[in-house]
Structure 1
């Protein structure tokens, strides 16, 4: 393969500006065409009792797949059906409760026209998203959305560039309009993205990540400091919880408390935990979001926080490292 000469940096930047300029103008023209057809499309999607089945071929197929993913992740049940696979069995995915959103710039792709006839026989509403309002797909759809562009960003005016951008943005506009109409919240978004950072922040509760049972460092107020240090070393939380006879925390003895005790007394061997513990330790409920616990700990400059129920009974404890390991912070 021949080496392609590298253009001057100024030429490369000029090319990027031309591409962006063409695509920005295409979106501005699209924005001016948003009208009652868009309103009807959103109304149809909101009224759908099944799924929005988005289909396309080639570059339009890639756009259709992304539109389906965006709809599904923002509260509108949707999936992508490849135009070629549809006519070889995947049309069996359709139900009479669905809506089909067909993406084809030309509006003349044979596969989608074949789908059109089947969809019509099943009585499924069809929204066509094309760049040619007089195309067969546009004329036979229940609703047509015009994504026509004056030119592609490709200097040959051949490779789908501005046209695919326009289709993608209109799909985003439909998804966002439906999201807003449904009152879709950050918590709803997190439920459909449990593996993502937002999902972890909004779905992970304190009880999901707290240490409990035998993993908790626990002593009584009369325990010698030297014995408490052994418990702290074994459990590795940098502290030990001080409980009363009813299993309620009355204090916490931390590494910092140990240092302050040594500074005051020097010889700590005869001292008990009660001589140096911090009273009224900060607590959080097990049903609180883990990110809320992180906020409390950060505000109080705490490395640990105790978990108690509504009666003050000890249930567990959190170390900042636990929140980091759970990727909550």
Structure 2
């Protein structure tokens, strides 16, 4: 006999909707009572000469860790400090120039109250985020942000659910307000996320992914097409670049050009590459963003793009596959 608990489909959806409704109501109530303490907290974070230390225990600790990560990635240097570890040595990481954000829904976590005392003696600022304005943590902090909720989404009104959501959103609101005040932009975000997709898109330059030197298929305009095809095949770019003796590109001869030339001329064995090349090929600078090259190639339906310097001399070439391999697109 299988005694594994099951919840009928309709009941599962009804439960989920109750959770959504409860947590949405908690956020709406929090939004409506936002006021001067929030604005003052943003001012303090913007004026901070040190770092922002976000601390908590249990579920509040998980929320604190995420808020610290969000602050750090949006222009406000921050790190997480576990409330229990703080009183066993980690308080040594705090300086008088720092701001501590202490998170405890009850406002009575003994570890954080110990932290409060040390922080106050040290001269650092303390912002408390609690659901109890009358708690010791709230009353003794420099600023208190009220994240109280009417009830938890948990039907027992015990498991932190709506309260943790409200606290997390309040932390996000602080981070975004600071981001906007600092005029933090997508380039700044990419610099703090160099390993992510956005970082690759916004930090990768054409020179980082282009082919150059012996990897380039180069021919002169008077080269017979069979020889040009050999060069094209050996370099695997689906094209060959037609250059002057000083390596100034005058054309490009692609697989598509080859097919069109055969249809037009039939026997191409005795023709030179200038007969079938596409003149005035599209180019880009090596210092341009790779994502710009991708956009140019997409706009003009190109698989290849030449890279030139300020004087128009060839320095490299890109194939769409190079951008795919670099995960720029």
- Same-fold status (TM-score > 0.5): yes
Which residue in the other structure is 2:18 paired with?
18
2:190 match: 190
Q: Superposition pairs for residues 17-96 of structure 1, below 5 Å?
A: 17-96=17-96
Give distance in 1, aligned partners of 2:122 and 2:255. Answer: 71
Instruction: Report the Cα distance in structure 1 between the residues aligned to 2:115 and 2:252, rounded to whole angstroms.
Output: 69
State the alpha-carbon separation in 2 of the partners of residues 27 and 221 from structure 1.
69
Q: Which residue of 2 is the match for residue 138 of structure 1?
A: 138
* CA apart distance, 1:198: 1.1
Deviation at 1:115, TM superposition (A): 0.7
Q: For residue 153 of structure 2, what is the aligned residue in structure 1?
A: 153
- What is the aligned partner in structure 2 of residue 328 from structure 1? 328
**1:93 Cα shift?**
1.1
Match of 2:163 in 1: 163
Q: Gaps (5+ residues) in structure 2?
A: none
2: CA distance, partners of 1:58 / 1:98: 23
Q: What secondary structure does 2:306 align onto?
A: strand
SS of alignment partner, residue 288 of structure 1:
coil
Q: Give the match for residue 121 of structure 1.
A: 121
Task: Report what 1:209 is aligned to.
Answer: 209
Whole-Å separation in 1 of the counterparts to 2:97 and 2:250: 60
SS in 2 for 1:54: strand
Unaligned runs of 5+ in 1: none
- Aligned partner of 1:282 in structure 2 is 282
- Measured after TM superposition, the shift of residue 2 of structure 1 is 7.7
Deviation digits for residues 112-143 of structure 1 (CA, Å, limit 9, x no counterpart):
01111110111000000000011111111001
Cα distance in 1 between the residues matched to 2:187 and 2:237: 31
State the alpha-carbon separation in 1 of the partners of residues 133 and 304 from structure 2: 64
Q: Give 1:200 deviation, angstroms.
A: 0.9
CA distance in 2, matches of 1:15, 1:153: 10
Mapped to 1, the partners of 2:264 and 2:254 lie a distance apart of: 15
What count of residue pairs does the alignment treat as equivalent? 329
> Aligned partners of 2:300, 2:7: CA distance in 1, in Å?
57
The CA RMSD over aligned residues, in Å, is: 1.1
Shift >2 Å, 4+ stretches: 1-5
- TM-score between both structures, scaled by the size of structure 1: 0.98
